[in-house]
Chains A and B, each alone.
Chain A
Amino acid sequence: MADTIPLAEARSLVARARAGDTGALEHLYRAYEGSVYTLARRLTKTAEDAEDVLQETFLEVCRSLSGWRGDGSLWGWVRTIAASKALMRYRREKIRETEPLEEDLGAGYAAADLPLQLDLEAALARLPERTRVVVWLHDVEGYTHEEIAELMGMTTSFSKSQLARAHQKLRQWLGEESRT
């Protein structure tokens, strides 16, 4: 998403919000709530998790307004906070549960691994969480494999292989050819 707030306006809003102007804070919230929530929905398991990420993100924005230097995209800064909050949740959950191994991508659906003619939304939701995170951050949000590796605490080769396997599965589940 392109930043919906021009840089000069963003600087002014942030300065006012830092001074305690609730109206300026609300303006920032209204400008980004949809994008943050959409990102959170793509990176977390449930709508409730996404709502929590939305709240945690804006509370962090309030705490850290002085951390935005005013020389880059405000949305880029907010998005980094949102992705970090969502992945923090992901990492916490991974400590409590066992993630399917890379080789098990799509495990549980083996019997239905033939073309399913799912729509893209359903196919995306069917991917394991970490694979969906990689696809979304890379193909939609434009993160590099290096950035994803850092955010997820994994290697760049892990990010690349997850992306490739995700594309293979998506094609398969969408009823399209899976050649390699």
Chain B
Amino acid sequence: MNDIRHANTEELLALRDGEGLAWTKTHVETCAACGAALYRLEQMRARLRALPAFTPPRDRFAGIAFAARRESRLRRVRGAVGLATAATLAALTFLALRPGGDGAIARERAALGRAMTRSEVLEQTLKAVAPERRALSGDALRAAAGLEDRLGRIDAALAEPDGWQQRPDRVVDLWQERAGVLSALVDVHTTRVAMAGL
């Protein structure tokens, strides 16, 4: 490369950032115009860094803390789902093996199966809506938080075999209640999605 031309902006920026070619460095030492251009690039960076900071127009902390707690609660609820499922598989076994396999027990098992299936379908729907990624406000937020708490309590009860082994019919009630709560949760989120046109 010869010394006839001036350094271009990209070459001068590389030199400014400590990555320039030896040619550029040598050239700038002897070329007043390129030396001045390099100085201007340094000055521009200093001016950019000196621009004033912005201040957020609103305090968002309360909303962020609330949303973080809600996400944490949802993660716990999802964590409990595995436990509840395992517990209910045990319940099915319990019902299946219970002596005196009459029609009432068969109906109990069928009701439990239906409630579990409905619950699973609704849970998949809820996951597809991804509630932890969505912003709710006002009444919808309070309703969702209340339903999530209720779901957490149901799953905790299902995860405690001691509580329902005495009364197997209680498992059916819990799973039916669980499906109802999940259905309400799906409604809260899908209504918001439909209204927002998302």
Residues in A lying within 8 Å of B, measured CB to CB: 20, 22, 25-26, 29-30, 33-35, 37-38, 41, 47, 50-51, 54-55, 58-59, 62-63, 120-121, 124, 135-136, 139-140, 160-161, 163-165, 167-168, 170-171, 176-177, 179-180
Query: Which one, B52-60, B94-102, B117-125, B177-185, is touching chain A?
Result: B52-60
Residue of A nearest to B10 (CB): A164
- The distance from the CB of A178 to the nearest CB of chain B, in whole angstroms, is 9
Whether B156 sits at the interface, judged by CB under 8 Å, is: no
Evaluate contact between A124 and B48: CB separation under 8 angstroms. Answer: yes
The answer for the CA separation of A164 and B44 in the assembled complex, in Å, is 12
Chain B residues near A167 (CB, 8 Å)?
Answer: 9, 13, 41, 44
Q: Which residues of B contact A (CB under 8 A)?
A: 6-10, 13-14, 33, 37, 40-41, 44-45, 47-49, 51, 53-58, 60-61, 63-65, 67-68, 71-72
- Contact partners of A38 in chain B: CB under 8 A: 53-54
Which residues of chain A come closer than 8 Å to B48, judged between CB atoms?
120, 124, 135-136, 139-140
A-B contact pairs, 15 of them (CB 8 A): A35-B53, A37-B56, A47-B57, A59-B67, A62-B64, A62-B71, A121-B51, A135-B48, A139-B48, A140-B45, A140-B48, A164-B8, A165-B9, A180-B6, A180-B9
- Known contacts A164-B10, A180-B6; is A37 also within 8 Å of B55 by CB? yes
Q: How far is the CB of B114 from chain A (nearest CB, A)?
A: 36
- CB pair A26 B61 closer than 8 Å: yes
Closest 4 CB pairs of A and B: A62-B68, A164-B10, A164-B9, A37-B56
Q: Are A160 and B63 in contact (CB under 8 A)?
A: no
Is there an interface contact between B47 and A120, defined as CB atoms closer than 8 Å?
Answer: yes
Q: Which residues of A contact B58 (CB under 8 A)?
A: 51
Query: Which residues on the A side are within 8 Å of B60 (C-beta)?
Result: 33, 51, 54-55, 58
Q: Residues of A contacting B47 with CB < 8 Å?
A: 120
- Chain B residues contacting A177 (CB-CB under 8 Å) are 40
Q: Are B51 and A120 in contact (CB under 8 A)?
A: yes
* Alpha-carbon distance between A89 and B65 when the two chains are bound, in angstroms: 22
CB within 8 A of A25: which of B6, B10, B65? B65
From the candidates B37, B49, B65, B71, name the one contacting A139 in the complex (CB within 8 A): B49
List residues of chain B with CB within 8 A of the CB of A139: 44-45, 48-49
In the assembly, what is the distance between CA of A165 and CA of B8, in Å? Answer: 11
How distant is the Cα of A30 from the Cα of B72 in the complex, in angstroms?
21
Closest to A65 in B: B68
From B7, B9, B61, name the one whose CB has the most chain A CB atoms within 10 angstroms: B9
User: Are the C-beta atoms of B68 and A164 separated by less than 8 Å?
Assistant: no
Given contacts A34-B55, A165-B9, 4 further A-B contacts (CB under 8 A): A38-B54, A51-B56, A55-B64, A176-B40
